[in-house]
Amino acid sequence: MAQFSIYFVRHGQTFFNLYNRMQGWSDSPLTDYGQSTATKVGQALADTHFDAFYSSDSKRAIDTAHLIQRAMGTEAQSLKTLMNFREVFYGYYEGDDSSRTWSLIGHQFGVTSMHELLAHVHIDQTRDLMRELDPWHEAEDNAMYWERINQGFDYLKAHHDHHEKVLVVTHGTTIRSMVARFAPEIDITQGPKNGSVTRIDVDGDQIKVVDYAQDLADVKVNQHL
């Protein structure tokens, strides 16, 4: 049974992050600050040996992963992209103002952000609410979302074992969703910062969240990492 650790890193800040826009399968470039953060993540993890590097196939994640590798001095090590670890697909609401979107999705609760909505519903339910409200009904619902995320875990399980360490650059809501599923006792109302690191250990069918959304200062001193 496969035993290994996954270090999920949220990509660096993008212009859509800065402008508070919905960014799922849509993409926008890393800001200068986002690039700097990715470099600092690589510097903070420089003493950690990773057996493999992955990212979602979104350019913001790929660019973040390359900057991390450059700062670690591991540019020669190949980077594999996995679409399974993309962000949630927001359908009609891709690129929309985030406050406007969440006020529509959570109108019955009078909220304007996912942070506020999570005080009323589980994060899994937010996907079903969004697909239902999407006039094109193309946003991912929870079943669709978890089908591809589970396939991503299956891929990693098939390719890693022996207490290896792998780094995966992915996305904020995806990290929140995994933590909510595998460690429901952890409060995810505060999402992971850009560049934060979340460690998840896999032991066969057992998946354990070791650290959630560790920022750069924590990465440098946290012996778990």
Mean pLDDT of 35-49: 96
State pLDDT tens for residues 61-119.
Answer: 999 999 999 999 999 999 999 999 999 999 999 999 999 999 999 999 999 999 999 99
Backbone CA torsion sign across 122, 128, 133, 138: positive
Read off the pLDDT band of 221 (50, 70, 90): very low
Alpha helices in the chain (DSSP H): 15-18, 32-44, 59-72, 98-105, 114-117, 123-133, 142-159, 172-182, 216-221
Provide the pLDDT for residue 1: 85
- Residue 11: name the closest of 42, 44, 37 by CA: 37
10 beta partners:
170
State pLDDT tens for residues 169-219.
Answer: 999 999 999 999 999 999 999 999 999 999 999 999 999 999 999 996 555
